[in-house]
Amino acid sequence: MKKTSSELPKPRVAIVGAGIAGLVAAYELAQAGIETTIYEESERPGGRMVTEVMGELVFDGGADFFLSRYELVPKLANEVSIRIENSQKGSTHRIIRGGKAYRVNLTGPLSVLLFRLLSFRARIALLFFATKLYLSRGHWDFFHLSASNPIHDDETADVYLREKVHPEIADYVADAFSGMIQFHRLEEVSLTVAMSLMHIFMTGGFRICYTEGGMMGLPEAIAKKLNVKYGRLVLKVDGTDNDVFVSADGKVESYDAVVVATSGSVASSILGHPHENATRMFSLLRYSKTIVVAFKVRRESFPEKVHMTYVPFVENETIAGYTNESRKQSGENRGEHILLNVYLHESAAILLYELSDEDIGNAVREELLLVCEELRNNQSEIVFHSSKRWEEAMPVYSPSLVRAVRVFENDGQGYRNVYLAGDYLNSVWTEGAARSGKRVADLILRKFTISETAPSLPDTEKRNVLLSESNNHHHTW
């Protein structure tokens, strides 16, 4: 007679890493009644979601915002009583060209005609590109690239946009965005990434969102509901057909399943017998490097409504962009000063990385004056506040990596009861990482419970699985 789910022994599951992917995996398992043990090397949760509060100023030195297009993150925030707020109404974004700032607002195909930073021919070319992308609705998922149309995996965004759309689109739009958000050049990015992101812009765009008090609020709230062991360095995870062994602090513990939710480089170093598809995936993975530098400036020195400013590499090879962090604050929280977070192109970060904070601040401040005309007349008001170095800032979603992750997810995930989660698994940004954690939790639950009680995938994830498995039914361009 078949046992019911209540009669089956509950699996023992360990999570390695208390970033958002690991926390979500543990949280989803806990919701199903399965307790987990989370091993976290540092003394805090959140990974790249890190916040420093100094007086009235909140410095988010890693992940800096959420998007209104997120689905799982707001759901989780609501469940752990964390409020997600929209940035202030009227916030504007802009791109620098020729030393001048041009306002941009991508919310649909026709909005590109208002891009004054582009020549008329470039705008028309972008309009045709955007319209075709808009009409390809349903084939793109920026937060899980494996579910996007695979036809463009092996192309680079730079070559495609430069040769088939217009060089200005590559230099002043796509490369500007890649530099500020991912910190590396467009020439390394799979076209699948650009298509998937552009599809978000073409179907309504998004608003910037945040959690009051800093980005760490959400991971801290989730972690409080879980069994997190801080200061525990995992040296090895080795799976068999029946058990998975975790070596940490001179002890070895056995589990029925383990989720390795670290960076890909750490996962590669601690896995005992990885699947061959995982090994190939790790060999193709690299992370961009950057430094985030925050300056304190007087509120009246900077345009109140400007939120994000993108600086293309062709304009400045040091600064990739800067954000007015006060736009993330509520209207009542209006102190005398604001923070400008300045983000560096990877090539500049590599050159400055080993310098002191003071030297980094001086070098970046000098470059900031070249790309922010509002501050040139208020140089004495620009005061170094803080900095955060990131050896591994963001995964580089290269054509080879995007393709290798697809292969691994179809054949390799869960090998010897070891599951991998994290943004490098074609799971972009905080929402993507969170969904990655949920996907592996669902896989574990389906394996260790009878099918009648196992959780089903959300409708969007069901569609994504079907799309990723059906490579012969996609529109071509």
DSSP-assigned letter for residue 354 = T
Q: Please write the tens of the pLDDT for every residue from 148-192.
A: 989 999 999 999 999 999 999 999 999 999 999 999 999 999 999
> How many helices (H) does the chain have, and how many strands (E)?
16, 20
- Three-state DSSP state, 446: helix
Which pTM value belongs to this model? 0.90
Q: What is the pLDDT of residue 112?
A: 79
Q: Please write the tens of the pLDDT for every residue from 79-109.
A: 999 999 888 787 889 999 999 999 988 776 7
> Among all chains, which residue has been given the structure tokens 């075709």?
132
Q: How many CB atoms lie within 10 A of CB 44?
A: 16
Q: Please write the tens of the pLDDT for every residue from 228-269.
A: 999 999 999 999 988 999 999 999 999 999 999 999 999 999
- What number is the average pLDDT over the span 282-302? 96
Burial 47-61 (b: 16+ CB within 10 A, else e): bbbbbeeeeebbbbb
Enumerate domains of the chain plus CATH numbers.
13-46+216-285+397-469 (3.50.50.60), 87-211+287-395 (3.90.660.50)
Residue 387 CB-half CA count within 13 A: 25
For residues 149 and 476, what is the distance between their CA atoms, to the nearest angstrom?
9
Q: Please write the tens of the pLDDT for every residue from 398-429.
A: 999 999 999 999 999 999 999 999 999 999 99
Q: What is the pLDDT of residue 358?
A: 96
> How would you classify the pairing of strands 92-97 and 36-40?
unpaired
Contact between residue 211 and residue 81 where contact means Cβ atoms under 8 Å apart:
no
Neighbouring residues of 402: CB distance < 8 A, sequence distance ≥ 6 = 145, 146, 153, 190, 192, 193, 426
